[in-house]
């Protein structure tokens, strides 16, 4: 990837459990979610989808998703746990992305719906038809959108500037 390109990975946390009397922010992953997050990490590693830097919501389920993905990656990816991503809309998530370190060309954001789905749809300007149709239809837990930008800095990304390089879901990993 050249110095004028950016690759954004938008990863929705994997399926969360709903234990009684647990505040939403502290909900852990379900057993299915743990399996799906680990599988997505393996998929990313095999496909060479390794970010340089991670921005992760502070919720338990996003931190756990990231920890399971990170275990499969070939190198340790520095991560910042960012409260502004928790249950935020696309504008707030985009503000966090735009403030990411300029030297990091491949950035992963681990967050929540509906913000992640709406942000992906906002950013993608072109894509292979099937991938875009799948992205448009749904963004289930554990889904990953990989969006490429031809810009010099994160602060320059905007509406429909991205190219959807791929869209993967936990279900597509078992096909």
- Over residues 4-28, the pLDDT tens digits come to 599 999 999 999 999 999 999 999 9
- Over residues 32-59, the pLDDT tens digits come to 999 999 999 999 999 999 999 999 999 9
SS3 29: strand
Concatenating the DSSP letter of every residue in 89-153 gives: -HHHHHHHHHTS-TT--EEEEEE-TTHHHHHHHHHEEEE-HHHHHHHHH---TT-EEEEEE--SS
Taking domain 8-15+25-103+113-173, whether its CATH number is 3.40.50.1240 is answered by yes
The domains of the chain are located at 8-15+25-103+113-173
pTM, entire model: 0.95
Whether pLDDT at 72 is above 90: yes
The partner residues of 108 in beta bridges, in order of sequence, read: 9, 54
Q: What is the mean pLDDT of residues 69-96?
A: 96
């Amino acid at each position: 990837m050249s110095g004028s390109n950016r690759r954004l990975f938008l990863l929705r946390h994997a399926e969360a459990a709903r234990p009684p009397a647990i505040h939403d922010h502290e909900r852990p992953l379900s057993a299915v979610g743990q399996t799906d997050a680990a599988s997505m990490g393996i998929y990313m590693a095999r496909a060479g989808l390794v970010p340089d830097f991670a921005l992760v919501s502070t919720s338990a389920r996003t931190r756990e998703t990231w920890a399971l993905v990170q275990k499969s990656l070939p190198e340790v990816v520095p991560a910042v746990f960012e409260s502004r991503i928790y249950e935020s809309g696309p504008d707030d998530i985009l503000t966090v992305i735009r403030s990411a370190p300029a030297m990091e060309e491949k950035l992963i954001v681990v967050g929540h719906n509906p913000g992640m789905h709406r942000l992906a749809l906002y950013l993608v300007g072109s894509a292979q038809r099937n991938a875009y149709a799948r992205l448009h239809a749904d963004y289930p837990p554990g889904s990953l959108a990989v969006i490429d930008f031809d810009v010099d800095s994160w602060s320059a990304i905007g509406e429909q500037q991205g190219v959807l390089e791929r869209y993967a879901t936990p279900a597509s990993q078992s096909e």
